[in-house]
Amino acid sequence: TFRVTLARSGQSYIIPSGVSITDALREYGVHIETSCEQGVCGTCYTKVLSGNINHKDVYLSEEEKQSGACMMPCVSRSASGDLILDI
């Protein structure tokens, strides 16, 4: 379980363990467009302002993953603590 804050609205949402960020946000009425939901296609590309990301996708390059500036929230999660997304 971790918390995701959306920078533009300032709203924070709890992401339960075992539920993807995109699925959890959809439950809260926040829609990030998805397609594959397997970390492959790139549709859900989301910029990240802060947080420690556990990248589980195969879409981003190693450089992008190490930058910590973007993530694929259909599969990737927080490694620890909260995430702030640039949406």
Write out the residues near ligand FES by the rule CB under 6 A.
34-37, 39-44, 57, 59, 72, 74
Q: How far is the CB of 56 from ligand FES (least distance, A)?
A: 10
Residue 21 · residue 73 · CB < 8 Å: yes
Q: How far is the CB of 76 from ligand FES (least distance, A)?
A: 9
How far is Cα 83 from Cα 41, in angstroms, rounded to an integer? 22
- Please give the backbone phi and psi of residue 21, each rounded to the nearest 5 degrees, phi first: -60, -45
Q: Which is nearer to ligand FES, 10 or 62 (CB)?
A: 62
Q: Which is nearer to ligand FES, 39 or 51 (CB)?
A: 39
HSE, side-chain direction, 13 A CA sphere, residue 9: 10
Residue 4 · residue 23 · CB < 8 Å: no
Q: How far is the CB of 41 from ligand FES (least distance, A)?
A: 3
Q: Which is nearer to ligand FES, 13 or 45 (CB)?
A: 45
